[in-house]
A and B are shown apart, each in its own frame.
Chain A
Amino acid sequence: MSEKIAPFHLAILIYMIQSGVTLTKLPRLLAVDFGTNGWIMVILVSFVACCNIFLIGLVNRIGGGKDLFDIMEALIPRGVMAPFYLLLAFIYSVLVILIGKDYVVITQVLSFQNTNAYYFIIIMLLLVIYLVSKDVYTITKVTAVFFVFTVWMTLLIFYHIPYMSFTRMTPFFLAEGENFLLGFINLFTAFLGFEIVVFLFPYIDRSKKNWFRSVYIGNMITTFIYLVISIVSYMFFSLEQLKLTSFPVLNLIAFIEIELIERIESFIFTLFLMKIVVSIVMYIWVAKLLFKRALPVVPDKWVTLILIFSGLAITFNANLEYEIGEWLNIFGLIGASIAIALPLIMLTVLGILKIRRRNRA
């Protein structure tokens, strides 16, 4: 592990983990849960995510760059922590397997209806296994390439400008929303991914003092793209239509007309695979780290397989769109709680350690 992650790559990595399959549904979630002008909530929730990142930044500053394991085990013996590590590892693997399944379900709405869904899942996971067997530096480099392959899609919205209208947006502020709280949680889970940086501390190039800023920058890229897409959707669809459109972003892409090719969304949606793979790889990578810390005897190769297969086994019953949706709601909530809880717990431990050190002195 000689080479370290540059801040620039870190920003891209954070963005790529954050944005994934939720993006395709995001405008509908906003419309259903918040109603008119729900895009405003993206700014608000992004701010909440920033606060969360700030907490992680505090951990980094106070802990002096020590990662989760070093901080926790300075207070609590590893044997006691091991079950928690394992639990966290399995939660993360289940979460990303669900995200992968969700992606496959949407793919099959568009095409390949007659193919067994597990075919796609296996192919996707093969890519994941290959990538996760590399070190994190290589993963971030691959992520940067994937970023270039996918980020241009945002520019497609220029095509929609003639079909957008401010009048359709209405001046009403969050009227007709169904469930503000659920919407808030759903939207927050769309921002998840930044919490992984807690595990990345030792792998980051710390020669630049302000490197932690790239986590904020990554979050800003996500916010910007979410915001643009939702504002465009609010001006392109009427509110009731947006509430009924399952994947507004796919409809936006499908609206683009090119001679000869109809329905380019089925082509472009395959590019989303890269985003999904990055999310899955990074979470599995963290899960692997956790697992190995708890059970160091298990060989490297087997850890990935154990994690993936247990994830598949646990989610074996979640295959339909609504089943996966329900599972994702639960695991999204768990993921969100972990993202908030991790830095808080670590800060508490750091505080206790400090007091103890002072008392000893």
Chain B
Amino acid sequence: MRKMSCVVTLAFILLTGCNDQKIIEQLGIVSLISYDDISESEEHKMKVTAVIPDYSIEATSEQEILEAEASLMKEAEEKLANQTRQKLVNGQIRSVIFGEDLASKGIKDIIQAMEREQEIGSRVKAMVAEGEAVAILKSTGVENIGDYMEKMIKKAAEEYLVPNSDIHIFYRDLLDDGIDPVTPLIGLTEGRANLKGTALFKDDRYVGSLNSELSRIFLTLYGKVNSSELTVKMPDGEHMRYINFNYNESDRDVKVKKKGKDITGIEIKIDLKGSVLEDTKEGVISSPEESKKIEKLTEDYITQNGEKVLSILKENRTDSLGLKQYVRNSLSFKEWKALDKDSILQTTPITLSVDVKVKDTGMMQ
């Protein structure tokens, strides 16, 4: 009797796993999905395109690209499923690309639906494409675009070329009243998918962008950078001087200056520490005077470009750097609620103070 009941219990526990089966050969595992705006034909209409890597033997190409028109993410899924023999699953979606037009109309609904869907993880990378997103998916030269895009964006974020854009982070910043979200911007160069910089959002609408060079500067203003490099381009005497500054410690600090209850200014302090690995100036560059000079040039370069970044943000009335979080933390709850949050950054002067330290000059003097 005892043995029997043990067997029954074990059978119950183990056999439950046989329910709700998903057989991998029968699955269409979506790896990348893109959304484009086609609302001219009908309100809220989107073109949804999914990339499904095909590992089965009978497949002719390595991936299958399916397209559907729909108003909801889930509706699109249904229509996509009608076009294939496989059962479509979302568990392995690694990145999502929004077309420029759709992004500038707002993508909150889609991001929210993706966060709601239990199959889709919160580490899915979101990005904006210049022009149509579907063009990126159909770009040539890459065999498996889903995998390629994910790795490219991940690597770029690790090297601080573009901001980290997990949908969790996007959604977190979207719902925070002290910061606006950002994502990487991608585009096509000679038919190949390529990083173009940073897409700036105002709430959930794509409003402007920063090119690759300014993106690096933006990221030093955005937060801590673990390791990255800058190509400093500055006039030195009569000639242009190019310096490669490789920094591995960078920190940002934001200070809100107040006089009584009024906010008089915001100061962004950046500390960078790194090594010089390439310099167009001839001769020894490791002397104290020369190091000081390189530090000064780099500081000026960052300040100049940083101000460019700030003016672009101001122009688009967006707070991608999260300065308002610091404003919020310097106020009482009542003051913060009463504050005109849209214009505070337009009216408050923002200053940059950059401190660069040259740690070494590599293996050469």
B242 interfacial by beta-carbon distance below 8 Å:
no
Contact among B115, B175, B322 with A240 in the assembled complex (CB-CB below 8 Å): B175
Known contacts A241-B171, A255-B122; A168 and B176 CB within 8 A of each other: yes
What is the CA–CA distance of A318 and B178 in the complex, to the nearest angstrom?
41
What is the CA–CA distance of A25 and B144 in the complex, to the nearest angstrom?
39
A122 interfacial by beta-carbon distance below 8 Å:
yes
Known contacts A170-B328, A244-B175; A255 and B123 CB within 8 A of each other: yes
Contact among A126, A239, A262 with B121 in the assembled complex (CB-CB below 8 Å): A262
For B177, the closest partner residue in chain A by CB is A240
Contact B173 A238, beta carbon cutoff 8 Å? yes
B42 interfacial by beta-carbon distance below 8 Å:
no
B57 interfacial by beta-carbon distance below 8 Å:
no
B325 interfacial by beta-carbon distance below 8 Å:
yes
Known contacts A126-B9, A238-B173, A241-B171; A167 and B322 CB within 8 A of each other: yes
B13 interfacial by beta-carbon distance below 8 Å:
yes
B353 interfacial by beta-carbon distance below 8 Å:
no
Chain A 162-187 against B: per-residue CB contact (8 Å), 1 yes, 0 no? 01000110111001000000000000
Contact B333 A115, beta carbon cutoff 8 Å? no
What is the CA–CA distance of A359 and B168 in the complex, to the nearest angstrom?
70
B346 interfacial by beta-carbon distance below 8 Å:
no
Contact among B19, B176, B328 with A115 in the assembled complex (CB-CB below 8 Å): B19
List the B side residues contacting A114 at CB < 8 Å: 19-20
A267 interfacial by beta-carbon distance below 8 Å:
no
A271 interfacial by beta-carbon distance below 8 Å:
no
Contact among B20, B119, B172 with A241 in the assembled complex (CB-CB below 8 Å): B172
Among A221-244, those with CB < 8 Å from B are 237-241, 244
List the B side residues contacting A302 at CB < 8 Å: none
Contact B91 A237, beta carbon cutoff 8 Å? no
Q: Is the interface of A mostly helix, strand, loop or mixed?
A: helix
Contact B19 A241, beta carbon cutoff 8 Å? no
Contact A172 B92, beta carbon cutoff 8 Å? no
For B325, the closest partner residue in chain A by CB is A167
Contact B118 A119, beta carbon cutoff 8 Å? no
Among B72-103, those with CB < 8 Å from A are 91-92
For A110, the closest partner residue in chain B by CB is B118
What is the CA–CA distance of A298 and B259 in the complex, to the nearest angstrom?
78
What is the CA–CA distance of A168 and B324 in the complex, to the nearest angstrom?
11
Among A66-120, those with CB < 8 Å from B are 109-115, 119-120
**What's the tally of chain A residues with a CB closer than 8 Å to chain B?**
35
For B19, the closest partner residue in chain A by CB is A115
A123 interfacial by beta-carbon distance below 8 Å:
yes
Contact B176 A251, beta carbon cutoff 8 Å? no
Q: Shortest Cβ distance from A128 into chain B, in angstroms? A: 12
A340 interfacial by beta-carbon distance below 8 Å:
no
List the B side residues contacting A120 at CB < 8 Å: 16
Contact among B19, B119, B171 with A119 in the assembled complex (CB-CB below 8 Å): B19
List the B side residues contacting A109 at CB < 8 Å: 118
Contact B19 A167, beta carbon cutoff 8 Å? no
Contact B12 A115, beta carbon cutoff 8 Å? no
Contact B176 A254, beta carbon cutoff 8 Å? no
Q: Shortest Cβ distance from B22 into chain A, in angstroms? A: 10
Contact A119 B175, beta carbon cutoff 8 Å? no
Known contacts A110-B118, A119-B16, A123-B16; A167 and B168 CB within 8 A of each other: no
Contact A113 B20, beta carbon cutoff 8 Å? yes
Contact A262 B92, beta carbon cutoff 8 Å? yes
Q: Shortest Cβ distance from A166 into chain B, in angstroms? A: 9
For A247, the closest partner residue in chain B by CB is B118
Among B97-119, those with CB < 8 Å from A are 115, 118-119
* Further 7 A-B residue pairs, CB within 8 A, beyond A126-B12, A175-B333, A239-B175: A36-B333, A115-B16, A123-B16, A130-B9, A238-B176, A241-B171, A255-B122
What is the interface of chain B, defined by CB distance below 8 A to chain A? 9, 12-13, 16, 19-20, 91-92, 115, 118-119, 121-123, 168-169, 171-173, 175-178, 322, 325-326, 328-329, 332-333, 336
21 A-B pairs with CB atoms under 8 Å apart are A111-B20, A111-B118, A112-B19, A114-B19, A119-B16, A123-B16, A163-B169, A167-B178, A168-B176, A170-B328, A172-B332, A238-B172, A238-B176, A241-B175, A241-B176, A251-B122, A254-B121, A254-B122, A257-B123, A262-B91, A263-B91
